[in-house]
């Protein structure tokens, strides 16, 4: 209790310092005087406010190039939602920019007064976006995970994002108490017959919007890195024409879901219908180009949040 109160006080101070710095435009020296602390402490509070994401910065200007690329992408692939953020050529991050933009779009949905069903995939990009969400109270909505949250060893998978989201957003959350991949189609059927899973499956079908990462394939794919797929299996998949995956669902270079053994074992909730729901993919970077192109071509997704460079590729492809 005391500890909690102190932590809150510190965050309050951080918020106050951040407000004075970013909103009121005071210098850290002034803030130190105002708050009766040393300049260094003021600096720490300001940077704490940033680290704790108390301060949110967003760009409110349609950069012409991004906007134009977005418009052309929308037409080219008949998309419901397009967000193109500036590229940062020097950065190797695969999330900077689209995490913020993704969070903004998720927030937009969460702010709707009408009850919504939001479906959430998994992956590093989505995790980064979720981490940008502010604390919100939205009891009217329901949030369902599209993929299982159980790793190979039975532990909760790290990049299953619904738990991170539950921390920030007060709404009913429905995780998928399943592994990502069943050992066989039969096992999947058994798993899916569980009542808890049935709830998630039904909600997934009702989703108004889904936010998903887009996974590339290849030796360095996240699915391999996290141990869900052996290099052998990955090799077979790419050899048989797989171009990428979303929530585990493999699709080929035309964006058609691949028939066959692998997809029969994927335990994820089927992606919501692209006719009724927005399925928004978050991804950028050279390695995802081809997977994104295929997903867009096959209308696996009907919305995208990406960066300029990736948008340029998708327009020229």
Partner DNA sequence: GTGATAAGTGAGTAATTGCCCATGAGCGAA
Partner DNA sequence: TTCGCTCATGGGCAATTACTCACTTATCAC
**Residue 127: closest CA among 162, 85, 92:** 162
Residue 169 tokens, joined: 């957003």
Smaller CB separation from a copy of itself, 10 or 253:
10
**Residue 215: closest CA among 316, 144, 100, 300:** 300
Q: Is the dihedral of CA 175, 178, 181, 186 positive or negative?
A: negative
**Residue 63-102 contact track with a copy of itself, rule CB under 8 A, x = bound:** xxx-xx--x-------------xx-xxxx----xx--x--
Q: In angstroms, give the least distance from the CB of 227 to a copy of itself.
A: 31
- Residue 238: name its binding partner from a copy of itself, DNA, none (Cβ under 5 to 8 Å by kind): none
Distant-in-sequence, close-in-space partners of 69: CB < 8 Å, separation ≥ 6: 84, 308, 311, 312, 315
Smaller CB separation from DNA, 109 or 313:
109
Q: Give the H/E segment covering residue 65.
A: helix 64-77
Q: Using the rule CB under 7 A, is 10 a contact of DNA?
A: yes
Q: Using the rule CB under 7 A, is 41 a contact of DNA?
A: yes
Burial of 246 (0-12, 13-18, 19+ CB in 10 A): buried
* Residues 120-179 interacting with a copy of itself (rule: CB under 8 A): 134-135
Q: Using the rule CB under 7 A, is 251 a contact of DNA?
A: no
Q: In angstroms, give the least distance from the CB of 2 to DNA.
A: 7
**Residue 281-300 contact track with a copy of itself, rule CB under 8 A, x = bound:** --------------------
| Contact yes or no for 304/82 (Cβ under 8 A) | yes
Q: Using the rule CB under 7 A, is 21 a contact of DNA?
A: yes
Smaller CB separation from DNA, 47 or 263:
47
Q: For residue 259, what is the DSSP state? A: P
- Residue 41: name its binding partner from DNA, a copy of itself, none (Cβ under 5 to 8 Å by kind): DNA
Q: In angstroms, give the least distance from the CB of 42 to DNA.
A: 8
Cα Rg of the chain, angstroms: 21
- Residue 44: name its binding partner from a copy of itself, DNA, none (Cβ under 5 to 8 Å by kind): DNA
- Residue 46: name its binding partner from DNA, a copy of itself, none (Cβ under 5 to 8 Å by kind): DNA
Taking CB under 7 A as the criterion, the residue among 8, 24, 33, 40 binding DNA is 40
The sheet that has 242-246: what strands, in order across it?
A: 215-216, 242-246, 249-252
| CA distance to 33, 61, 239, 259, per residue, from 183 (Å) | 64, 49, 21, 16
Q: What is the DSSP string of 85-126?
A: EPP-TT---SSTTHHHHHHHHHHHHHT-SS--EEEE-BSHHH
Q: In angstroms, give the least distance from the CB of 147 to a copy of itself.
A: 28
Q: In angstroms, give the least distance from the CB of 286 to a copy of itself.
A: 18
Size of the site for DNA (CB under 7 A): 16
Distant-in-sequence, close-in-space partners of 15: CB < 8 Å, separation ≥ 6: 49, 54
Smaller CB separation from DNA, 55 or 234:
55
Q: Give the H/E segment covering residue 282.
A: strand 278-282
| Contact yes or no for 285/125 (Cβ under 8 A) | no
Smaller CB separation from a copy of itself, 67 or 189:
67
Return residues touching a copy of itself (CB under 8 A). 8-9, 11-12, 14-16, 18-20, 22-26, 30, 33-34, 36, 49, 52-65, 67-68, 71, 85-86, 88-91, 96-97, 100, 108, 134-135
Interface residues toward DNA, by CB under 7 A: 2-3, 10, 21, 27-29, 37-41, 43-44, 46-47
């Amino acid at each position: 209790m005391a500890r909690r109160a102190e932590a809150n006080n510190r965050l309050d101070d951080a918020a106050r310092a951040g407000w004075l710095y970013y909103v009121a435009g005071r210098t850290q020296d002034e803030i130190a005087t105002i708050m009766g602390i040393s300049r260094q402490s003021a600096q720490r509070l300001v940077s704490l406010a940033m680290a704790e994401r108390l301060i949110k910065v967003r760009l409110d200007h349609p950069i012409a190039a991004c906007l134009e690329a977005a418009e052309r992408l929308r037409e080219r692939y008949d998309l419901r939602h397009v967000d193109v953020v500036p590229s940062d050529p020097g950065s190797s991050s695969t999330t900077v920019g689209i995490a913020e933009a993704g969070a903004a779009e998720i927030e937009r949905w969460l702010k709707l007064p009408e009850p919504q069903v939001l479906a959430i995939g998994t992956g590093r990009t989505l995790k980064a976006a979720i981490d940008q969400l502010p604390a919100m109270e939205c009891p009217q909505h329901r949030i369902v995970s599209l993929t299982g949250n159980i790793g190979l060893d039975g532990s909760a998978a790290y990049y299953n994002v619904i738990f991170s989201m539950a921390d920030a957003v007060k709404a009913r959350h429905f995780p998928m108490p399943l592994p990502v991949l069943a050992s066989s189609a039969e096992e999947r059927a058994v798993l899916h017959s569980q009542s808890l899973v049935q709830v998630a499956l039904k909600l997934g079908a009702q989703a108004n919007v889904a936010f998903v990462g887009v996974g590339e394939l290849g030796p360095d794919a996240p699915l391999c890195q996290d141990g869900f797929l052996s290099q052998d299996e990955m090799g077979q998949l790419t050899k048989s024409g797989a171009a990428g995956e979303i929530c585990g669902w493999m699709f080929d270079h035309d964006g058609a879901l691949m028939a066959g053994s692998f997809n029969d074992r994927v335990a994820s909730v089927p992606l919501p219908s692209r006719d009724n729901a927005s399925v928004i993919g978050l991804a950028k970077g050279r390695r995802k180009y081809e997977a994104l192109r295929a997903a867009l071509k096959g209308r696996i997704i009907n919305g995208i949040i990406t960066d300029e460079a990736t948008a340029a590729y998708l327009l020229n492809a």
